[in-house]
A and B are shown apart, each in its own frame.
Chain A
Amino acid sequence: MITARILIRPKEGILDAQGKTVEGALPALGFSGIEHVRVGRMVELQAESADRLEELCEKLLANPLIEDYEIEIV
């Protein structure tokens, strides 16, 4: 079995409401000098082969209209 980590992020240019909210909370917590916060998700899975992972991303794990993904085999 291989272990894959799939990183899914909102596409550049699409307003990331979650990232913006996180960024907005930082000054109140005393953090400065941090910008362009973007929030995505990471899916870790084990598979017999990497052959169909791209198809899995296109069909389910990501929505290619609004999200980019990267597959990393660990």
Chain B
Amino acid sequence: MIWGVLQFPGSCDERDAQNACELAGADTRLIWQDETSLDGIDGVIVPGGFSYGDYLRVGAIAQFAPAMAAVKEFAAGGGPVLGICNGFQVLCESGLLPGALLTNEGTRFICRQGDLVVQESSSPWLSEMNAGETISIPFKHQTGRYFAPPEMLESIESNNQVAFRYAEGQNPNGSLNDIAGVTNEAGNVLGLMPHPEHAVDPLTGSIDGLKLFRGPAGVVA
């Protein structure tokens, strides 16, 4: 099993994402922005960072990278795609996920450990977790306020596309309905603002993030 981790100019969490995939039992390959083929890749991670300097709007430029065209095709074929933080923003901008991310309500960059509550979902990314379970992973972003217009929000909620919510009282950014992560309708594409790839080693306090990476891999390390 080989997972591709995208790399744009300005990405910064791609090595941690690779490390997480490897701990979950998968081999990895970095995929540079101008690659056009995902042949041989079984899963894709769009990592965190500041792609293309986040100029114009977070995630706005990266959606036009050749590698993203390949990711769209991969996702349309049912391939598992995970966007973390800036990767989540890129997936929203590229239309693979519903909604948009806005500047945190308090405008500050936040960086702290926090709790997410797993929601009812058929996504393969959540197959190693149970609805109602709480996981502890780092929150680390400045543009993480999830927003969707009322009609879109309603359809996301009724289709069980909300994958994670911030635990009660822990919404750090003003996200609507405490939403921390959403999936596409099919469930194979997941995006979330907090960082599961930074919670894979007991040294840093929690290994809850590993469960996500084990999900579609079907590998129990």
Contact = CB atoms under 8 A, between A and B. Distances in A.
Interface of A: 10, 14-15, 17-18, 20-21, 60-61, 63, 65-66
Contacts of A15: 102, 105, 145, 174
A66 B147 contact: yes
Contacts of A60: 56, 60, 64
A66 B60 contact: no
Interface in B40-98: 56-57, 60, 64, 93
A14 B147 contact: yes
B107 A21 contact: yes
Given A17-B107, A18-B103, A61 B56 contact: yes
Contact of B100 (A18, A20, A65): A65
A14 B107 contact: no
Interface of B: 56-57, 60, 64, 93, 99-100, 102-107, 145, 147-149, 152, 174
A17 B102 CA distance: 9
The SS class assigned to the B binding surface is loop
A65 B147 contact: yes
A10 B145 CA distance: 14
Contacts of B60: 60, 63
Contacts of B174: 15
Nearest to B101: A66
Nearest to A10: B102
15 contacts: A14-B147, A17-B102, A17-B103, A17-B104, A17-B106, A17-B145, A20-B107, A60-B56, A60-B60, A60-B64, A63-B93, A63-B100, A65-B148, A66-B102, A66-B147
A15 B102 CA distance: 9
